[in-house]
Amino acid sequence: PTGASLPATGRSDIKAWQKSVQGLLRNLQRPRYVATGLLPEFQQRDGRQAFIKNHQLPPYEKPEWKGDGSEENPGMPMDQKLMLYAEAMAKDPAPLIEELNARLVELDDIVYSSHYCSEGGLSMDDIDLWSRLRSITIIKGVEWPDKLRSYMDELSALGDVPLYDEMAL
């Protein structure tokens, strides 16, 4: 229904947190999306390769990643991208997960409640934040602070959109 959520509040603290974990999450989430093979968009080889082609891993930036390595389309060849994804997936994730767990505690402190992230009610802040946090549920071993985990579960139920916990790697 129209008006079911409030507009974004412009919370710079949440945006700053999201930006601060961007590289960390790219290293943990992106290889797992492709590796599960359980999400419909990644069941076909072409779907996995399209994702890899368009989603760089740190420390690479888009201009270095895009392309196919040819003279006409400089950038990184697909074989190298596939290798980097495989290496990221093969690495011991424990240090990155430990860092993520600490960062989630920080976020837990700035999320308003287990019902919505900003004071005043469900808003576009929640739609943005929850969708980003949902992708963390594909990472096995993440320890969610209580309020933040309740937030994830409540919005999952409210939107009838499942989390990825059952397929976490």
Q: What is the mean predicted confidence (pLDDT) over 53-82?
A: 91
SS3 content of the chain, % helix, strand, coil (to 5): 60, 0, 40
Bridge partner residues of 123 (DSSP): 6
Would you give the DSSP letter of residue 168? -
Q: Which residues contact 74 (CB under 8 A, 6 or more apart)?
A: 67
- What is the pLDDT at residue 2? 67
- What is the pLDDT at residue 70? 83
Q: What is the mean predicted confidence (pLDDT) over 79-104?
A: 97
**In angstroms, rounded to a whole number, what is the distance separating the alpha carbons of residues 77 and 71?**
11
Note the pTM of the prediction, 2 decimals.
0.91
Model confidence at 4, pLDDT cuts 50, 70, 90, reads confident
Tokens matching residue 155 = 């919005």
Q: What is the mean predicted confidence (pLDDT) over 1-22?
A: 91
